[in-house]
Amino acid sequence: MKKTIEIFTIGFTKNRSRIFDNLTESKVKCVIDTRVNNASQLAGFAKKKI
């Protein structure tokens, strides 16, 4: 039996509340950050300290 998963992408926004509200309302269980360089993009709340 094959197990299927659904994968969605989200666009960039400067509004942190909007992103997290949408994820919560959609009952998202896992978020994966696939940016090549997570310190170079504009979303300051998502930047990782290097």
Per-residue pLDDT of the chain (50 residues; tens, 9 = 90+): 889 988 888 776 677 788 888 889 989 888 887 777 666 655 555 665 65
What pLDDT score was predicted for residue 25?
Answer: 94
Q: How many CA atoms lie within 13 A of 31 on its CB side?
A: 12
Contact 30, 21 (CB under 8 A): no
pTM equals 0.52
Sign of CA dihedral 6, 10, 16, 21: negative
